[in-house]
Amino acid sequence: MEIAGLLERALRFDFLTKEEGVFLYHNASTAELAFVANELRKKQVPSGKVTWQIDRNVNTTNVCIANCKFCNFFRRPGHDESYITDIETYKVKIEETFRLGGDQLLLQGGHHPDLGLQFYADLFRKLKELYPDLKLHALGPPEIAHVAKLEGISHTEVLSALKAAGMD
Q: At what angle do helices 3-11 and 30-44 cross, to 10 degrees?
A: 20
- pLDDT digits over 130-143, tens only? 999 999 999 999 99
Please state the pTM of the whole predicted model: 0.73
- Residue spans of the domains in the chain: they are 3-44, 55-165
Supply the pLDDT for residue 47.
87
Contact 105, 137 (CB under 8 A): yes
Q: Where are the alpha helices (DSSP H) in 28-154?
A: 30-44, 87-99, 117-130, 141-151
The CA distance from 97 to 78, in Å, is: 31
Supply the pLDDT for residue 53.
85
**How many Cα atoms occupy the beta-carbon half-sphere of 81 within 13 Å?**
6
Supply the pLDDT for residue 61.
96
As separate numbers, helices (DSSP H) first and strands (DSSP E) second, the chain gives 7, 3
CATH of domain 55-165: 3.30.750
Q: Which residue ranges of the chain lie beneath pLDDT 50?
A: none
